Structures are given as C-alpha cells and as structure tokens.
Structure 1
C-alpha cells in the first residue's frame, strides 16, 4: 500500500486549508494566509505569540471535527501550500493604515471581527474591507481602537487639547495636522518633537497622541541602542514614539531621517547563507525631551517642534487617563471628520519646503479651517534653523564671512582654500585655536557645507559646487535682499 494511502493526513490538511483560507505572497516572497472573508493575514511560517497560521489551522480543524494531526503532517501540508502560493499574484500587507480602491484610505481598528474605518472623499464609515483590497498584518504592537463616534461637531479635538498643555494655538494646529497626516499611508510627515520645561506633560501628551492611532495599549519607548532594534520596532507598528531623549547620536539622527522619509533595510536571512530579508519602512515618528543638544541640519528639516508649558492645576494620572479613554471615540471621530474635510480642500503646494507633502497638508488645513498651519510650520522650521546654527560653529563662521560680502556677490575657491579662509575668520586677530570637530581637510569641509546647505540658504547664503578644467570648486553667494515690493508680498503671504 502506498505511503499516501497509509497516511493521508497531509492531503486532508491541505484540502481543508485551501477551502477555508486564501494564500498569497508579498513582493519579498513571504507567504500569507487569510481566512475567507476576513482582512487579517498571517505569515504561514510565523511562530509569534500573536497567533500563527499554524495555530489558526489546528484550531479550525479541531472545531470543525476534521481531526487533530501531528506536527509532521502539518509541516508537510504547509510546505506544499507555501510552494503553491509562490505562483500566485503578489499583494501587499499593511499595518494600521492602508490605501484602498477609488482613492479611499483604511484604518485598522485592531478588532477581532475585522471592522475597520474607510475614509473616502465624501466621508467615512465602518466596514470589513474586502480581503483583496486590504490585508492587515497584526503584531503585538497592534492595539484595539474603539469604534469612532459619528457627528461629533469637532468636540473631540476640543476635548483633546483641553487635556494637553501646548503653549499656543500654533502648536495645537500643527499637532492636529500631524495627526491627520498619520492617517495617510503615502504621506511622509515630520516628527513632532514635544519639548518644554520639566513637568510640562511631554510624555503624557506624546502617549495620548500615540493612543489616538494605536489604541490604549500604545506607549512610548526608550531609543534602542542600535539601528537594527530600532528598525525591528518601527516595522512592527505604525507610530514610533521615543521618550525623554537627552542627546542625539549621528547614527540615531540618520536612522530617524530614514524612518520619516522612508528607506529599506537588507540583512541576511536567518539560517541561510545566501538569502536576504528585506524590510521597507516609512512611519510616523514622535519624540519627547527637554533638550537633545545639537541637531543635524538634515534631521531639523524633518522635525516639528511643539512646545508645552507647565500646567497651573495638576490632575492625577488615573483621572486624566479615565477622561481620555472616555473621550477617545469622540476624539477619533472628530479627527476622521476633519481628515475628510481637509483632504477635500484645494490648496497649492509650497515648493520651497523640504517636506512638501506635509506643507501641502498644512495649506489644505488652512483652506479648510483658516488656522494658519502653514505659517506656523514655516516659523517652526525657522526656529530649528536657529538651533542648528547655534550648535554649529562652522555655520556661524560661514555667516560671519558672508556678512562681509555685498548682497549678490559670490566667491569661488577650492575647498582647501575655503578651509584656510574660514579657519582664519574663526581664529580672528586673537588667533583663537580651532575648536574640536573643526574640518581638517578640504574634503571634510566640502561634506559639512553640503549638509549645511538648506540651513545656510534659509539665512540667504547659497553654497554651490562644480568642476572646471582646473579642478573642483565651492562657491558661496550672498543672496540679494528682496525688493521692497517683493518684501511686502512675502510678508503678506505670512
């Protein structure tokens, strides 16, 4: 008698699986299983504690009276299913926020019944998405959100800001714009940096913002010690919130830039010699802290400073969180109402800002509610430029040298000549010794100036590079002051 006739378990398992589940693969080759009619997908090789497909399959067969099978039969059946699924069309899996059909956006509420929020051009509603439109991936960081309330008339946003200690309306409207941006699957948003004196409620406010998107189980975390752990945490959730930052290493700063605007991590797959594991990520990021020291220019363009102040009346943690949890359905409903309204507003995209998508979102917020979000965003970036300059002696020296140039004038030299020139400007007549970290070669100076280009341009100093027959050069130009009529138009724009 053939082995298959003696032990048909793998055929029984395979038939049951194909009747009750849909199997597909993602672009990186990972095979997922999706119960018929349910939007949540699980990788068939997962052994995680959030519920693997193997466990789901075993429970289903037991409850339906098919039987209980040993591990060998399950492994053989899943091996066959995985091989068959590799011939299917690819489909993406999403965490928390996903694009849908006809310009819609979906928000995963993290519920067992699969109910999600569909945000479309004319409103939003609660439904179970078609599995071929949206495939949700769940992890331990995927918390459950309450069903949002309808017809809130904006009361939820008011209740939210009554629980926070923002210093002014500008910080509140920028925070609101960031929350709207978090509901967009393809819009990179700058990272709010909640700052203020000790006792201003930075961590509490940050925790509230995370829980609006991630549910009451969402929380802040300490910055991981290495990039690999940071990427793993980022890939497992939607909003990544780092609490109580006191300094910013260059590696952490670079990793944060990648998180905000998107990047890909490639590493060797476990238990293989030649295979690799790819991880693409772009996530909303939130930071809290009193002062992180020197901010690098590329990160400054991706930050959104939001300032808080110490409250005059203190409340207990239990009272505060009880009120927040009660208000969360209304807060979420108000946020969804506002998102629909803002997305429907028409506005021009500012072309002079690095985070153009968020700048356009701020312009849409202004078109919908006239809150001055775009101007507040520009002011916040200007403040960050001041912080970068105050923490960078090279930037201060470049600006000091530019002050000796007439508006519209330019100077072109090699990087080595510029190093000598700027070192002389810094040393001055007192012949001050060059500080630690000062560029030691022309190449280092050129790299530093390229990194400082946006910051210096915001102060009217343009840095450019090129090559002639004689070699490479760096050019510094002091931008001419705007004409009076042009200056009035710029002021009117603000």
Structure 2
C-alpha cells in the first residue's frame, strides 16, 4: 500500500476517534481514552485482557460501517492521538472509589452501563457520573456490585453480622467503621487484622467484608514475595486482602505501612534508557491469621484488631455464600445509609491518636449511633501495644528500668551508658547471655529506642534526646499519672 493510500486511512481513524472518544492524560503522562458520555477510561497503550482502547476503536469502526483497517493505520492514528492528548487537560483516574464535586464521593458498581453510587452527607443515589467529574479505571480485579437496595432501615447490617463470627459488639462497630472508611478515598484507614482460634471463620469473614466493596469476585490472596508484586496487586484493585499470615518480615511490614498511609514507587520504564514509571498508591488493606509473631511498632499503629470466635453451628460453603449473595444488595444499601449518617454527624477529632482521620470517623460513628467505636479503637491499639512489648525484650527492659523511678522522675545518660545499664539489668545476677538482636553499640540502641518510643509513651515512659556542651544524652522519664478528672475525660 502506498503512502498516499495510508494517509486517508489514518485520517479517517483519527477523525472517528476524536468524535466518539474523549482523550486526556494523567499527571504521570499516561494518555486515556473515554467513550463520550461514559465514565470508564482505558489507557490507549493497554493490551490488557479486560479490553483495550485499540480493540474498542476497531469494533466501533466496524459496527458503524466506517471500515476495517490494518494495524499500520491504527498504530499511526493512535500515535498521533497520543501526541495530541499530551497537550490536553490533566485528570486523574480512579479504581472503585473516587472523590467528586461538592464534597461527594463515588462508588463504581463495575457495571457495563457505567452506573455508580454518588454518596453525599445529604443522601446517596445511583447515576452515571459526568466524565469531567469522575474517570473510572477498571482491571481484572474490578468485579461487579449489585444495585444497592433503598430504604433498608439498617436491616443489612444485622444480616451481615449474623453471618460473621465477630466476638462482640465493639468488634462489629470497628468493622463497620473500616467499611465506611473504605468508601472515603482521601482518608487512610488502618488495616483490620481478623484473628481468632482455628476454625473461627477468619478467611470467610474477610471475604465477606471485602466483597461488600469489591463484589463477589473479590477474594483474599497470599502475601507477595517482593515489593514489585505487592505494588502490582495494590495498583490493580482497591482493597488488598492478605490471607493466613503467620509472620511479618521487616520488609513486608514496612511495605504494608506505605500501602496503608500512602507512598510512591519509581522504576525504569521498559524499553527505555532514562524514562521512569511512577506508581502512587494508598489503599485499604485487610489481614487474616491466628498469630503473626512480632509486630513492629509503626505497623501496630496502623492495624485494627478484629477478633472472631468459633461458630456453634457449621454451614456448608454453598449455603453460606448463596445467602450472602442474596443479602448483598441489602447489606450495601444499609452501609450506604449508615455512611450518609456518619458523614453528616458532627464530632471532635481526637488529637492523641496516630491515624486521626480514622479516629474522627469513629467519633462520627459514635455520634450517629452511640456504638462506642472510638473506645473500642483505643482498646485495640492498647492490645497491639501489649503485643509489641511482649515481642521486644528491649522494650520490656526499659519499662522495668522505668519502674525504679518515681513518677515524674527522669534519668539522663549517654547512649553508651544506657546500653551498659540496660544490658546489666537484663542479664541480672545470674549473668544470662544477651539475646540475639540486642543492641551492640550506643548508636544502635538509640535507633531502637526511636522505633519503640511511641509504644513506651503509651505505657507512661517518655524517651527524649538532647545535647549538653559535653555530649549527647538520652533522657528517660516515668510520666506522672494524670489527675482522676483527666483520666475520666480521656475515655
């Protein structure tokens, strides 16, 4: 085919594409195509199994009687469209949950017709969002949700809790707070850790919580082996759920902290020398397991313990999931009703907790329902602090040394002097050997104390660093208990 014959085909494809699709770019430069009037956008370079823009463009040209074109003409047309789109407006794409105009948020139902749920403090409804407001991006992990039921009067919440095996009402309230937090794209939420004895239905309960947001195709998965696989899984869906964890190595623990509160990953773009690919992510997570061993302090502040108990009556998987699929529209409708009430509620933001946004959400839930969620959240953090201390011999030794101090008393020593004092205290009169991983230098001790500083502060032991004209020092203070009136007002 001559060049004169190629140019008209390329021009025909380009004219058709620009009249039937809207093209824009994201902040990282990726160009997306969005069918006119439809909220779902696809990257024009995608070759994914969920349908690429090249495929939908070919189908549109054929069905509208424009013609069938060869690969060269399509490639040249898409190259031109991509170059032109780089000068267009920048707009983000979202998976499952997105912010909207006027304080609203959107929930993608994963339907072919693009219908989504608009959630606002004044109510929720189902509509197709304006493409200028929301652009959905879908992957193989984007399952379809049922149309939520209206006017449920909270019946769906009771139906859900009857299927789950949560230990008590406080745990149920925390689970509801997490689900409401998953519908807010701008607020990081702690990762619920479903734990309990063998046979308590931890995996089943986790799937039920995930499928309220991700649909019946949502599922749990094993922990990835490396950071790249983890980021790939996180970027492809909204909720990342890890099943049957037995231990948390430091690298996985640090990566989970980044996923929960947000981070960015940069790697070299394929088939290039200098271009890079930026991956920004902050996603809700869910974990299940009987015991994960030692929990690092920074992750403990980002976890939410949900305890389950063994059911008295066992049911078959087929019966259980058939009932769940039947009640899911009512469950989703009740959750949306509760979300509207919570967002309209007024409550003060607790200032003493790490994840203040989630603490504020718990306070709003309490204001709307009186569940006592914030108190349960504080109790969950206290339990996790106990787990951290029980797994850290250095923290136990520091607390033991602080018990020798009077309330309000402080001790200042250099890091080397503290290392000698704490090592001697741990070894005791029997001179037992120091455990593996015990600090070997003052610098290592200082770094370890910085890591466990929030955990020690939760137990009334304050650690601070300073410098005199002679040397640097570490100060450990046993905090004086607050007056009874302040203790009561704190809960």
Compute the TM-score of the two structures, normalised by the length of structure 1. Answer: 0.98
The residue that corresponds to 2:133 in the other structure is 133
Q: Secondary structure, in 3 states, of the residue corresponding to 1:482?
A: coil
Q: How does 1:128-167 map to 2 (within 5 A)?
A: 128-167=128-167
State the shift of 1:493 in Å. 4.3
State the shift of 1:471 in Å. 3.0
The residue that corresponds to 1:169 in the other structure is 169
Which residue of 449, 468, 491 corresponds with 2:488?
491
State the shift of 1:464 in Å. 1.0
Between the aligned partners of 2:490 and 2:400, the Cα distance in structure 1 is 29
Q: How does 1:458-477 map to 2 (within 5 A)?
A: 458-477=458-477
CA distances 1:13-69 after superposition (whole Å, capped 9, x unpaired): 000000000000000000000000000000000010010000010000000001111
Between the aligned partners of 2:463 and 2:252, the Cα distance in structure 1 is 26
The residue that corresponds to 1:107 in the other structure is 107
Q: How does 1:421-436 map to 2 (within 5 A)?
A: 421-436=421-436
The residue that corresponds to 2:229 in the other structure is 229
Between the aligned partners of 2:299 and 2:486, the Cα distance in structure 1 is 30
Q: How does 1:256-267 map to 2 (within 5 A)?
A: 256-267=256-267
State the shift of 1:431 in Å. 1.0
Q: Secondary structure, in 3 states, of the residue corresponding to 1:101?
A: coil
Conserved in 1, the CA contact under 8 Å of 2:110 and 2:144? yes
State the shift of 1:261 in Å. 0.4
State the shift of 1:474 in Å. 1.4
State the shift of 1:472 in Å. 2.4
What is the RMSD computed on CA atoms of the aligned residues?
Answer: 1.1
User: Would you say 1:209 and 2:209 are equivalent positions?
Assistant: yes
State the shift of 1:215 in Å. 0.2
Between the aligned partners of 1:436 and 1:453, the Cα distance in structure 2 is 21
CA distances 1:157-211 after superposition (whole Å, capped 9, x unpaired): 0000000111111100000000000000011000000000000000000000110
Q: How does 1:402-413 map to 2 (within 5 A)?
A: 402-413=402-413
State the shift of 1:428 in Å. 1.2
Between the aligned partners of 1:359 and 1:116, the Cα distance in structure 2 is 28
State the shift of 1:491 in Å. 2.7
State the shift of 1:227 in Å. 1.0
Between the aligned partners of 2:308 and 2:91, the Cα distance in structure 1 is 43
Q: Secondary structure, in 3 states, of the residue corresponding to 2:178?
A: helix
The number of residues matched between the two structures is 491
CA distances 1:214-242 after superposition (whole Å, capped 9, x unpaired): 00000000000111101110010000000
The residue that corresponds to 2:385 in the other structure is 385
User: Would you say 1:255 and 2:255 are equivalent positions?
Assistant: yes
Between the aligned partners of 2:294 and 2:5, the Cα distance in structure 1 is 71
The residue that corresponds to 2:479 in the other structure is 479
Compute the TM-score of the two structures, normalised by the length of structure 2. Answer: 0.99
**Cα 1:101–1:4 shift into 2, 3 Å:** farther
Between the aligned partners of 1:194 and 1:245, the Cα distance in structure 2 is 10
Further displaced range: 6-15 or 455-464: 6-15
Further displaced range: 409-418 or 302-311: 409-418
The residue that corresponds to 1:74 in the other structure is 74
Between the aligned partners of 2:149 and 2:72, the Cα distance in structure 1 is 49
Q: Secondary structure, in 3 states, of the residue corresponding to 1:118?
A: strand
Q: How does 1:187-336 map to 2 (within 5 A)?
A: 187-336=187-336
Conserved in 1, the CA contact under 8 Å of 2:6 and 2:73? no
Between the aligned partners of 1:19 and 1:470, the Cα distance in structure 2 is 75
State the shift of 1:101 in Å. 0.4
CA distances 1:311-353 after superposition (whole Å, capped 9, x unpaired): 0000110010000000000000000000000010000000000
Between the aligned partners of 1:7 and 1:364, the Cα distance in structure 2 is 61
Between the aligned partners of 2:84 and 2:346, the Cα distance in structure 1 is 47
Q: Secondary structure, in 3 states, of the residue corresponding to 1:103?
A: coil
Q: Secondary structure, in 3 states, of the residue corresponding to 1:126?
A: strand
Between the aligned partners of 2:486 and 2:419, the Cα distance in structure 1 is 38
Between the aligned partners of 1:361 and 1:180, the Cα distance in structure 2 is 8
CA distances 1:231-282 after superposition (whole Å, capped 9, x unpaired): 1100100000000000110000001100110000001111111000000000
After the TM superposition, which segments of 4 or more aligned residues of structure 1 sit over 3 Å from their partners?
A: 4-7
State the shift of 1:6 in Å. 5.7
Between the aligned partners of 2:259 and 2:181, the Cα distance in structure 1 is 15
State the shift of 1:7 in Å. 4.2
Between the aligned partners of 1:321 and 1:5, the Cα distance in structure 2 is 58
Question: Structure 1: which 5+ runs fail to align?
Answer: none
